[in-house]
Amino acid sequence: MSNSVTLVGNLVEDPELRFTASGVAMARIRLAVNRRWRDNNNEWQEETSFFGGTCWRDVAENVAESLSKGDRVFITGRLEQRNWETNEGEKRSIIEVRIDEVGPSLRWATAQVSKTPRNNAGGSYGGGGSTPPAPVARDDFGADEAPF
């Protein structure tokens, strides 16, 4: 069974970049997702939901460098539940998004993309030092299909 989610919303604060003891980058983001609809009386109603998410390694560093509070973004990832116990012994849990991809929404904005050098040692291609996918040669596209 697949567990994937895509959300589009606005960052409610700047991404929070941290590093683990072993030096792995991790960024947390919080996202406000708005829903607007007309009710039975034809009046506009609005509801806002807040979601938190975490991304790792190169994605985390790119997010922290590229995005800031108020930016409209989309994220894709999978839902994960995290459980813990407070110092008072109360059990708590939260559902967060383990983020795989992040991008700016271009619905009401423009963006300029600049590629970063690849880091093949533990990059984000399946984790743990796996090899990135091979680049596609121009000849591998169909006669009427151009690379993007």
Q: Please list, residue by residue across 118-135, b when 16 or more beta carbons sit within 10 angstroms of its beta carbon and e when fewer do.
A: eeeeebbeeeeeeeeeee
Q: Please list, residue by residue across 28-51, b when 16 or more beta carbons sit within 10 angstroms of its beta carbon and e when fewer do.
A: bbbbeeeeeeeeeeeeeeeeeeeb
The architecture that CATH gives domain 5-109 is: Beta Barrel (2.40)
What is the model's pTM? 0.70
What does the pLDDT average to over 122-127?
Answer: 45
Burial, 99: exposed, middle or buried (Cβ in 10 Å; 0-12, 13-18, 19+)? buried
Banded model confidence at residue 146, pLDDT cuts 50, 70, 90: very low
Which residues are CB-neighbours of 49 under 8 A, at least 6 positions away? 32, 33, 35
Domain ranges for the chain: 5-109
On the question of pLDDT at 135 being above 50, the answer is no
Q: What integer pLDDT is reported at residue 128 of this predicted model? A: 44
Residue 103's beta-bridge partner residues?
74
Task: Summarize pLDDT for 15-74 with one digit per residue, the tens.
Answer: 999 999 999 999 999 999 999 999 999 999 999 999 999 999 999 999 999 999 999 999
Residue 102 to residue 75: CA distance in whole angstroms: 5
Residue 99 to residue 118: CA distance in whole angstroms: 19
Task: Summarize pLDDT for 70-120 with one digit per residue, the tens.
Answer: 999 999 999 999 899 999 999 999 999 999 999 999 888 888 888 877 765
